[in-house]
Amino acid sequence: MGLPVREQTYYWGIAAAVLFLMLWILGDVILPFLLGGAIAYFLDPLADRLERIGLSRAAATAVITVVAIVGFVLLAVLVFPLLIDQTRALIQVAPRLAENLRDFLTERFPSLIDKGSPLHQSLLSISDTLRSKGAALLEGLLTSALSLINVLVLLVIVPVVAFYLLLDWDRMVARIDQLLPRDHAPVIRELARQIDRTLASFIRGQGTVCLILGTYYAVALMAVGLQFGLIVGAIAGILTFIPYVGALVGGGLAIGLALFQFWGDWLWIVAVAAIFQAGQLIEGNVLTPKLVGSSVGLHPVWLIFALSVFGALFGFVGMLVA
């Protein structure tokens, strides 16, 4: 016999409160385990496919691990140094870009940007802030994100957790199935299948979309000669997870940089804008329908709201849970 609705609400409320309390207290501690679990969940279909062609679970996990290590080493050698250099250069050149914008507006709209106007004072303030805070911001980001502890967490604990979870994924699912109450097992299994289909459509599909678009934007922007094409493409790819934000932020940043770099050569500026327009067409008509589908049924406003609230309350861990 099922519990009355009042009792179910009571117990589920307690479970939700315990979950939020754990996120609040143990956010930094459980981060590598959440990341490792997400990676294992993302790669489980690939391991299942390797098993179907004749490999054991251990062999499939080993193949995936070796490929992942090789890919990470290639990224560390070829991409990460360039990404860090472009980030540092972008922060250093930002004050000059602000000054160029002020000079351009002063030349084109002298009545609007006179010495005492609020807009002129704002541009001066932005330029001074970027000049004084840019280096400190970069140093703080590198110090906080690339500290020894965080490097050990990301480069050691997360891969180890992902490896063991991927290796034992089917056994863990079978063990959980054995613990289900027999009277409710069929209903729970069906609900779990529906949840898995929805999560797979969204997390695996949207993650793949972000990776494909980020790579496309970075390669295409670098091909047309945009100075900070790699970092802009990476930002756009990561933010693609949030509907419309990736295209708006990445496109706005890329076009703004193109205006300063290619001013007067409108063909290249149009080319940069066309790259993002083509990316949106590909995402909306090919990638998202094929990889994500329509089974999620989650309105973009709810997604943005959930990411904002959970991110503000629980940091990066909260965004993963959201």
Show the 3-state SS of 198-253: HHHHHHHHHHHHHHHHHHHHHHHHHHCCCCCHHHHHHHHHHHCCCCCHHHHHHHHH
- Phi and psi angles of residue 224, each rounded to the nearest 5 degrees, phi first: -85, 0
| Residue type (1 letter), 83 | L
Q: Which of 93, 73, 84 is nearest to 139 (CA)?
A: 84
Residue 49 to residues 26, 44, 61: CA-CA distances in angstroms? Answer: 35, 9, 11
Whether this prediction's pTM lies above 0.85 is answered by no
What torsion, rounded to 10 degrees, do the Cα atoms 149, 90, 219, 101 define? Answer: 150
- Phi and psi angles of residue 184, each rounded to the nearest 5 degrees, phi first: -110, 0
CB neighbourhood size of 114 (10 A):
11
Taking a C-beta distance cutoff of 8 angstroms, is the pair 45, 197 a contact?
Answer: no
Supply the Cα-derived Rg of the chain in whole angstroms: 24
Token digits of residue 249: 């932020």
Q: What is the pLDDT along the chain (322 residues), one digit of tens a residue?
A: 556 777 778 877 888 888 788 777 776 677 778 888 888 888 888 888 988 898 888 888 999 889 888 888 887 777 767 777 766 766 666 666 666 666 665 666 555 555 556 655 565 565 555 555 555 555 554 554 445 456 666 677 888 888 888 888 888 888 888 888 877 788 888 988 888 888 777 777 778 888 888 888 888 888 888 877 788 888 888 888 776 777 788 888 888 778 777 776 788 888 888 888 888 888 878 887 777 665 566 666 777 777 777 777 777 677 777 7
